[in-house]
């Protein structure tokens, strides 16, 4: 099973909020997730990025691959 750290969209039309989730790479974007580790709200000023750093590091150490967008968000928060 290949595990990804990626974004899952919630919120209303034209006002997205994303959850940062750990999910099987075969599951759909808003489908079944293993764990919710944070959220990202790009519409707020400044953009809101909340990540549980311990859980993120734990999943990265287990071999979970972040998407490009999540990798950028994690690097902003100082998590690699």
The answer to whether the CB of 21 falls within 8 A of the CB of 35 is: yes
Helix H or strand E encompassing 20: strand 15-24
Residue found by looking up tokens 């998590």 in the block: 79
pTM across the whole model = 0.89
Q: Domain of 48: which CATH number?
A: 3.30.1320.10
**Residue 1 pLDDT > 90:** no
Tell me the C-alpha distance between 4 and 57, whole Å. 13
Domain count, the chain: 1
pLDDT digit string, tens, across residues 8-59: 999 999 999 999 999 999 988 888 899 999 999 999 889 999 999 999 999 9
Instruction: Provide the domain limits for residue 26.
Output: 3-77
Q: Do the Cβ atoms of 18 and 39 come closer than 8 Å?
A: yes
């Amino acid at each position: 099973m290949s595990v990804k750290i990626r974004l899952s969209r919630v919120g209303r039309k034209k006002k997205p909020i994303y959850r940062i989730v750990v999910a099987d790479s075969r599951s759909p974007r808003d489908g079944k997730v293993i764990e919710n580790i944070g959220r990202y709200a790009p519409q707020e000023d400044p953009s809101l990025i909340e990540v549980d750093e311990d859980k993120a590091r734990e999943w990265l150490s287990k071999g979970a691959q972040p998407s490009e967008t999540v990798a950028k968000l994690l690097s902003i928060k100082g998590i690699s």
